[in-house]
């Protein structure tokens, strides 16, 4: 039972670089989410998806992009990394909206220098 798997666990980027945070789930969940967690703050929703091919913006989408070509995978892309994007990123999934979000990955700790 892998659940939600995120890679990498840690990454340091330079300002202006780009990268993709990977997220995969093996529970056949329709709903997937990306959150960021800043120190002393609750999670903020970046993007979410209700199924393959369908994505929508959350509370803090600027500077990020997502895609959902399969049910399993929901990658998050940073195109031009900025120091304000230094954070811990969590991917999550749920079977439906009423259980949102239920299963979390262990996070990716990203530093932009």
Partner 1 sequence: AQSVTQPDIHITVSEGASLELRCNYSYGATPYLFWYVQSPGQGLQLLLKYFSGDTLVQGIKGFEAEFKRSQSSFNLRKPSVHWSDAAEYFCAVAPATGGFKTIFGAGTRLFVKA
Q: Which residues bind partner 1 (CB under 8 A)?
A: 4, 33, 40-45, 48, 56, 58-59, 90, 92, 97-107
* Whether the Cβ atoms of residue 89 and residue 77 lie closer than 8 Å to each other: no
Q: How far is the CB of 80 from partner 1 (least distance, A)?
A: 26
Of 43 and 66, which CB lies nearer to partner 1 in the complex structure?
43
Of 48 and 85, which CB lies nearer to partner 1 in the complex structure?
48
Interatomic CA distance for residues 93 and 103, integer angstroms: 5
Burial class (CB in 10 A: 0-12, 13-18, 19+), 36: buried
Q: How far is the CB of 85 from partner 1 (least distance, A)?
A: 19
Q: Give start and end residues of each alpha helix (H) in 1-113.
A: none
Q: How far is the CB of 98 from partner 1 (least distance, A)?
A: 7
What is the Cβ-side half-sphere exposure of residue 107, based on CA atoms within 13 angstroms? Answer: 12
Of 59 and 79, which CB lies nearer to partner 1 in the complex structure?
59
Of 56 and 79, which CB lies nearer to partner 1 in the complex structure?
56
Q: How far is the CB of 48 from partner 1 (least distance, A)?
A: 5
79 Cα distance to chain centroid: 14
């Amino acid at each position: 039972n892998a659940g939600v798997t995120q890679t990498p666990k840690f990454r340091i980027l330079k300002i202006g670089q780009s990268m993709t945070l990977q997220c995969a789930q093996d529970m056949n969940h329709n709903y997937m989410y990306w959150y960021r967690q800043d120190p002393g703050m609750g999670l903020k929703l970046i993007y979410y998806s209700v199924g393959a091919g369908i994505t929508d913006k959350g509370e803090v989408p600027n500077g990020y992009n997502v895609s959902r070509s399969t049910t399993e995978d929901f990658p998050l892309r940073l195109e031009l990394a900025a120091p304000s994007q230094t954070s811990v990123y969590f991917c999550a999934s749920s079977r439906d909206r009423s259980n949102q979000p239920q299963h979390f990955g262990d996070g990716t700790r990203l530093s932009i220098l």
